[in-house]
Amino acid sequence: MSRADQIKIGLVIPESGPSGIFGPSCAASAQLAVEEINSRGGILGREVVVSTIDGGTEPVTVANRVRTLCHEQAIDAVVGWHTSAVRLRVAAAIGGQIPYIYTALYEGGESTPGVFLTGEIPDKQVVPALNWMATHHKVRRWYVVGSDYVWPHETLSQIIDRCVDGTHSTTSAEIVLAGARFLPLGASNFDDVLDAIETSSVDGVLVLLLGQDAVRFNRAFGERGLHRDIVRLSPLMDENMLLATGAENALELYSASGYFESLATGHSMDFANSYFGMHGMSAPPLASPGESCYEGISLLDKLAHQAKALDVGALVHTADTIPIDYESPRGMVRFVDNHLAQDVYIAHADGLDFDIDARVAEVV
């Protein structure tokens, strides 16, 4: 088959670094999306093929690789789950030449032409989850532990703007922010921050750590015995991280997401049946970062179908003028204002599974 008969997607997913724990699920879910689309005749009648780029390396390294592939016309689109630090570099490297579907939860505010976003944003995920914890579990005094990059920093800023009046020490009707600490990627020693948490008399810890860093933190948290008295809310916590954390360290551990493997809807169960039907029961756990890559490739297909083209101008025009409603493993979703509007759920760890507690945000 000639290059002209194919649409080649650069799949930017973490294969290394703290977020490498998500890579296998991302790759397997993307593969399912590609197989389903190709079984229907591809995108605009062209077969979809994927070239994987490690999004877990230094952002400038990822961006340089994407820039080279764009220059060589070796990719027609970029899709993937990776950090916001990588996204900012990749968006600049692409420069609007090809469509870029960014699938990770992120801090919000991205408006670069040609960048389309499917992930949760704080005011539809973290903020309602904090409000739900305050209302239903009386958890109001929080300590924030995050990785030192844009998503945790900007998420904290939005929490302060929406939930807390003033600075970290000021009380609002709902939330008190007792302190915050940001740690370098790859952090492995949490003694100082655990000491600070112990002496802060908090009800909860908001964990904005990335991947394997969060796993190590949760293990250390459990070994200290802090999980017996302090709730944790980790909006990036997925089934892979829960498995690595261990049930013994997951007491009173909550997550908020648009997708959980345990989401017992017809849409999610159909997705699980297809996923394990393709990859077998030994496949990587189904998880939000992985499902988001399926989501991203599916959205590219739907945008191209609606626009009847794959060039950035046509896709941007379509996204700006026609809300796109469709069925997803996350349920009924709507792509509008360049973001995916979706239901968001809060769940607690029960052993090595998540039990859904409530829906904290709904598709409008």
pLDDT at 169: 38
Instruction: Name the pTM for this structure.
Output: 0.94
- How far from the centroid of its chain's Cα atoms is residue 5's Cα? 32
Length of the chain as a residue count? 364
| CB neighbours of residue 17 within 10 Å | 21
What does the alpha-carbon distance between residue 190 and residue 213 come to, in Å, rounded to a whole number?
A: 10
State the Cα–Cα distance between residues 47 and 39, nearest whole angstrom: 9
CA distance 342 to 355: 19
Q: Give first-to-last CA distance, the chain, whole Å.
A: 43
Amino acid of residue 234? S
C-alpha 256/C-alpha 269 separation (Å) is 19
Spatial distance between the Cα atoms of 196 and 143, rounded to a whole number of angstroms: 9
Residue 159, burial from CB neighbour count under 10 angstroms (0-12, 13-18, 19+): buried
d(CA 148, CA 18) in angstroms, rounded, equals: 12
- Which segments in the chain show pLDDT lower than 70? 1-3, 164-173, 364
pLDDT at 172: 45
Domains annotated for the chain, with CATH where assigned, are 3-120+264-343 (3.40.50.2300), 123-258+346-361 (3.40.50.2300)
Distance between CA atoms of residues 33 and 98, nearest Å: 20
Q: Ramachandran region of residue 354, left (φ > 0), alpha (ψ -120 to 50) or beta?
A: beta
C-alpha dihedral, 311 to 313 to 318 to 319, nearest 10°: 100
pLDDT in tens, 221-249: 999 999 999 999 999 999 999 999 999 99
Question: Quick one: 131 exposed, middle or buried, by C-beta within 10 A (0-12, 13-18, 19+)?
Answer: middle
The vertex-65 CA angle with 59 and 70, nearest 5°, equals 125
pLDDT single digits (tens) 99-141: 999 999 999 999 999 999 999 999 999 999 999 999 999 999 9
pLDDT value at position 363? 80
